[in-house]
Structure 1
Amino acid sequence: MPLTLETLRRSAKRLRAAYEAGDSATIARVTAVDPRPGQPLRHADFLHIVAREAGFSSWPAAKFAEESIGMDRAQKRHRLRQAVYFGQHWIVERLLAEDLAPSEDFALAIVLYDREAVMRRLADDPGAAVRMLGPRRPILHLAFSRHFQAAPEKRADMLAIAAALRAQGADVNDAWDKAPGQRLSALYATIGHARNLPLAEWLLTQGADPNDGESLYHACEMGHAEGVRLLLANGADPAGTNAVLRALDFNAHDMVAALLAAGASLAEPGRSPALHHAARRGCDGRMAEMLMQAGAEPAQLHEGVSAHAYARVYGARAVADAIEVRATVPALTEAEALMAGAAEGAVPSGRFLDPGKLPPGLRNIIRDIAHLPDSAGHITRLAGVGVEYDRPDGMGVTAVQVAGWAGQAAPLAALLALKPDLGRVNAHGGTLLGAILHGAQEGETGDHLACAELALRAGVALPRWALEGAGDAELTAFLRAWAVAHPGQVVD
């Protein structure tokens, strides 16, 4: 009988049944592959095992092998371009094993760093360096390519292609109008999408503008301390970028120190003061002390709330302690004291607050802590005293979407238990499942597979695009297995 996905699925079901029945031979068979050591196995794990036994690297690889049978060369090339853009390295590897002649496709030659093919094309047609290739020009295809993460040994080829495009007129400040009001520069593409600092450095040496409104902020968001220093060294101005507050989100001392040394403000108009933000984000005492040494005022009020009250209410005990060492702090209000009790695990029964009377910053607390791995109990206690748990921010993002983006399963489970609106679409076009998949794609370090399973079990729809758009092979395998087991949940 030929080996098909259906026969592999049936094998996976039999394997799981035997494993859960305690069959010793099956347990040994599973242990030999052990896709999730020390963790409970899911259906996707048994699919992974039978795929490995059938000679595939993973279940997505097995599924893609069958799906690609019906694709012609042009379709496979298109899928390869998508995989490079999204960083789906397992699909790139699989397709490159086929006879696709990627060097004949100029866009593919660029994103895969095929120096010889690019040089040959430019010698024959110099104008190709600035001609549109689909939605972007060649230098933007190069900048958005995530292939560097899988093939760092091609650094010299990548930079040689960049130089060749530049020599033929490519603009290092070229930008892609991805959506109305969303103009993404080549420099942003390297730092905020592809995590490609060598190409970012090359662009800056060639005159790329470090003040493009995106790159410095996203360097902080991606955790690129080296990228932040690179941008600052090349003239990036932190004023108005929100970079300090984004670095505080990660308690990143080195990034904050670099930004402050470059003249970043501790209190930009329309934004929280840095010390308040450090309290809200649960930074440590060292960060609070660094900010106060740089001039942050512990007595300053923001929206009627002191930094110390923020620290107590948000459970940032280390920040509160650091402030108490330096300043005399006012007593907490009744509502602040109730919320501080929730942060510390001590909430008197039968006491509630009126959320409509809270300052705006405190009304958003559940959304603000949803990304923290240990916030589940805090969330439940705050909701128990009356704090809003499904209040969107200015872009329509809710706490449940924040937890999903960060891949934090425990806070997500706590929020799902409160029955939030799972059909909400934020201003970015994202749903709960979309936020989970986007967070996984952008390198958030939580357990996005567990979050996806929680969301799907709660009844969210599974869009068909997600079966192709998840960059992580294990997450892709899980979603595809879920689609097979729950076809009615799949939507176009």
Structure 2
Amino acid sequence: MKTLPSSPDLAHLKKQAKALLRAARNGESAALQHFAAQLPIARDLTATELAGWELKLHDAQSVIARDYGFRSWAELKRAVAWLRSTQAEKRETWLRWALEGNARERRLAVRSLAEQPALLAGDAWFACVIGNESLLRDRLARDPSWASQPSGPRSMAPLVAVTHSRLILEEGFETPLLACARLLLTAGADVNATWTDPNYPEWPLSALYGAAGVTHHAGMTRLLLEAGANPDDNESLYHSVEARAPDCTLLLLEAGARVRGTNTIGRVLDYDKPDLLRQILAHDGDARERPWLHHAILRGRSLGHIRLLLEAGADPRAVNEEGISLYRWAQLHGRSDVVEILGGLGVKEDLSEEEAFIAACTRGDAVAAERIREGMPDIFSHLNTRQLQTLPQLAATGALEAVRTMLAMGWPREVRTGWDATALNLAVFQGDAAMARLLLEEGADWRTKHGYGDNVIGTLSWASQADEIEDPAPRDYIACAQALIEHGVPVSATEGYSFSDEVGAYFATLA
């Protein structure tokens, strides 16, 4: 594997890729063998078969990236930009990768640390982030009180830096980071130390939150709880349910974490986790604390989730903060199954003409919806903002037939909800290509900005690289990218964005 120079030139690397591509297109055996050796898709092809391929620049760039040990050209470009930055910028970027980064960024953090160990050498606070027990032990020997002193670029106590390090998810870092945590606790570090993110000054974040809510590491969570960490820190339990495995949540519940008042039930309903919902309700969750049934319907949860909440005492006649009853809410979201259950409980209400129209649309009954619209041609002018938001909300949960019917009835395409996002943004966020195609075919505008100030390309960029988006989201971001291009989004609009390796490779084929 080749090693990049200390200040690599991206233009030179591009020239290498172009030269390799020219040689391969000219049939030079060495170049063809180079492609066959580095491109996984070409490894089973003979040189003759490979020569018949229509090799493109992105193929050559991928080969060059793999020559240097990177998985993609995009990853190589990020490493080049990092190497060419100042020393201070290198440290700040590296720290962001280690504490906040997705899988790709964490890989870069590990690699860059191995290639430039001097970057963090001798810094005891950074030793907490990487798990350098020896350096940390030396620092504590000189000043034991340092164990509880906030320091470093983020003004974090050493234990908080250890527990927030996402490097614990990478091979070779789990054991040393756990050892550093034990060392700090033995030295008297405050197990309930907190850190305040400048972006959220009203929410102090604990060391336990780092373990249970950020890295979702059961071993670190258990270690802190056994050392006396307070499980009721207002953040750890709520964020623990975001993990793919329930281990941290169960550890917190076993330690006596309080469910009521934390919105944990609402958070677990954001995911398809009925077993975990059952355990949270059985602990001390209050099914009547808030209109959880409304939230379950909003998030597209199954009838099983609804039954669990009802069995735990949720009120079938509950009204949400907007004054909408559960019966009406279920009708407005096309949940005929929930309406049937409510009917069995004696809950039934008359709907207004506008509500009946929405209910017909959301259950996919175009005939009934059209009949109402014929009697009220200006019906959309009678719908309030909350009612109009039904379209993007159902797009977010994959209700394809409901959205198809709503669009056919003339529903406004650019209504926004949630994080001020349109139906198209929400569909792409979920990686729901079928929904995205439907919306694009019906005139959804990819340029509409969402609440974070970007358009659907920015949504695709973030979501395709995210580690946290859970099933049952389709997460087919390549198909979403294809749908956008096929419906008129120019390739040039993707320039300046980063994507997952797969999505980035697709856009590269179009360049």
Q: Verify: 1:201 aligned to 2:222, yes or no.
A: yes
Indicate the larger mover: 384-393 or 106-115. Answer: 384-393
Aligned to 2:117, the other structure's residue is in SS state coil
> Residue in 2 aligned with 1:146?
166
Which segment is superposed worse, 124-133 or 83-92?
124-133
Superposed CA offset, 1:174-210 (max 9, x none)? 1222315453513333333323232233333334343
> Corresponding residue for 1:46?
59
Counterpart residue type for residue 206 of structure 1: A
Secondary structure of the residue that 1:159 maps to in structure 2? helix
Given the alignment of the two structures, is residue 177 of structure 1 paired with residue 197 of structure 2, yes or no?
A: yes
Conserved in 1, the CA contact under 8 Å of 2:21 and 2:55? Answer: no
Aligned to 1:447: 476
Counterpart-to-counterpart distance in 2, 1:54 and 1:421:
37
Written as runs of structure 1 = structure 2, the 5 A alignment for 1:128-277 is 128-129=146-147, 130-137=149-156, 138-151=158-171, 154-166=173-185, 167-170=187-190, 172-181=192-201, 183-186=203-206, 187-268=208-289, 273-277=291-295
Distance 2:117 2:288 in 1: 54
Instruction: Identify the residue that residue 364 of structure 2 maps to in structure 1.
Output: 345
1:259 aligned partner, one-letter code: I
Give the AA of the match of 1:211: D
Check whether the contact 2:269–2:277 (CA below 8 A) recurs between aligned residues: yes
Specify the code of the residue in structure 2 equivalent to 1:150: E
Structure 1 position 111 matched with structure 2 position 129: yes
* 1:386-410 CA-partner distances (Å, limit 9, x unpaired): 5444333475344344334333333
Residue matched to 2:396: 371
Residues in 2 aligned to 1:366 and 1:264: alpha-carbon distance in whole angstroms: 31
Alpha-carbon distance in structure 2 between the residues aligned to 1:432 and 1:181 = 30
Amino acid at match of 1:172: N
Within 2, Cα distance between the matches of 1:136 and 1:461? 38
Report 1:64-83 matches (<5 A). Answer: 64=78, 66-67=80-81, 70=84, 76-83=90-97
Tell me, in whole angstroms, the C-alpha distance in 2 between the residues paired with 1:135 and 1:99: 22
CA contact 1:104–1:117 (8 Å) conserved in 2? yes
Contact 2:366 2:405 in 1 (8 A): yes
Checking the alignment, whether the CA contact within 8 Å between 1:191 and 1:197 is kept in structure 2 is yes
Greater Cα shift, 336-345 or 156-165: 336-345
Question: C-alpha separation between the residues in 2 aligned to 1:422 and 1:283?
Answer: 30
Decide whether aligned partners of structure 1 residues 124 and 436 sit closer, same or farther in structure 2, where only a CA change above 3 A counts.
Answer: farther
Contact 1:44/1:477 (8 A) holds in 2: no
Query: What is the CA–CA distance in structure 2 between the aligned matches of 1:12 and 1:311, rounded to whole Å?
Result: 58
Alpha-carbon spacing, 1:173–1:413, altered in 2? closer, same or farther (3 Å): farther
Aligned-partner residue type, residue 382 of structure 1: M
Distance 2:177 2:183 in 1: 10
Query: SS in structure 2 opposite 1:175?
Result: strand
Q: Is the 8 A contact 2:428 2:459 kept in 1?
A: yes
Q: What is the aligned partner in structure 2 of residue 409 from structure 1?
A: 433
Alignment gaps of 5+ in structure 2: 1-10, 28-34, 45-53
Matched residue, 1:284:
302
Task: Name the residue aligned to 2:115.
Answer: 98
Aligned residues: 461
| 2:4 alignment counterpart | none
CA distance in 2, matches of 1:13, 1:409: 36
User: 2:404 and 2:385 mapped to 1: Cα distance?
Assistant: 20
Using a 3 Å threshold, how does the CA distance of structure 1 residues 33 and 148 change in structure 2: closer, same or farther?
A: farther
Closer, same or farther: CA 12–147 of 1 in aligned 2, 3 Å: farther
Asked whether the equivalents of residues 111 and 142 of structure 1 are also in contact (C-alpha less than 8 Å), the reply is yes
Letter in 1 for 2:468: G
- Counterparts of 1:171 and 1:384 in 2: how far apart (Å)? 58
Equivalent residue number for residue 69 of structure 2: 56
Partner Cα separation in structure 1 for residue 450 and residue 484 of structure 2: 14
Q: 1:422 to 1:52 in 2, by over 3 A?
A: closer
Give the partner amino acid of 1:80: W
User: 1:197 and 1:473, CA in 2 relative to 1: closer, same or farther beyond 3 A?
Assistant: farther
> TM-score, with normalisation over the residues of structure 2?
0.74
> Is residue 84–residue 146 contact of structure 1 (8 Å, CA) maintained in 2?
yes
Q: What's the CA shift for 1:223? A: 4.6
Question: Distance between the aligned counterparts of 2:453 and 2:134, measured in 1?
Answer: 40
Structure 2 residue matching 1:56: 3-state secondary structure: coil
The whole-number CA distance in structure 2 between the counterparts of 1:214 and 1:437 is 27
Partner of residue 49, structure 2: none
Looking at structure 1, the residues matched to 36 and 60 of structure 2 have their Cα atoms a distance apart, in angstroms, of: 15
Select 1:89's aligned residue among 103, 106, 118.
Answer: 106
Give the superposition deviation at 1:289: 1.8
Out of 6, 11, 16, which is 1:7 matched to? 16
How far apart are 1:105 and its partner, in Å? 3.3
Letter in 2 for 1:81: L
RMSD: 4.3
Q: Is the radius of gyration larger for structure 1 or structure 2?
A: 2
- 1:21 aligned residue: none
**Residue by residue, what CA displacement relative to the aligned partner does 1:98-128 show, whole Å, maximum 9, x if unpaired?**
1423443334322221222222232234454
- Identify the residue that residue 138 of structure 2 maps to in structure 1: 120
Distance in 2, Cα, partners of 1:281 & 1:217: 17
Q: Is the 8 A contact 1:12 1:47 kept in 2?
A: yes
Post-superposition Cα deviations, 1:70-103, rounded to whole Å, max 9, x if no partner, equal: 4576654444323222142331343134142344
Q: CA deviation at 1:347?
A: 0.9
Instruction: Please report how far the alpha carbon of residue 150 of structure 1 lies from its aligned counterpart in structure 2 after TM superposition.
Output: 1.3
Counterpart Cα distance in 1 of 2:422 and 2:209: 26
Determine if contact 2:16/2:64 at 8 Å carries over to the other structure: no
Structure 2: how far apart are the matches of 1:285 and 1:461? Answer: 41
- CA distance in structure 1 between the aligned counterparts of 2:360 and 2:24, rounded to whole angstroms: 49
Amino acid at match of 2:139: R
CA distance in 1, matches of 2:155, 2:425: 30
**Equivalents in 2 of 1:136, 1:429: separation in Å?**
29
Distance in 1 of aligned mates of 2:287 and 2:55: 47
Amino acid at match of 2:216: R
Question: TM-score, normalising length from structure 1?
Answer: 0.76
2:83 touches 2:90 (CA, 8 Å); kept in 1? Answer: no
Q: Among residues 42, 57, 61, which one is paired with 1:32 in the alignment?
A: 42
Deviation at 1:344, TM superposition (A): 3.9
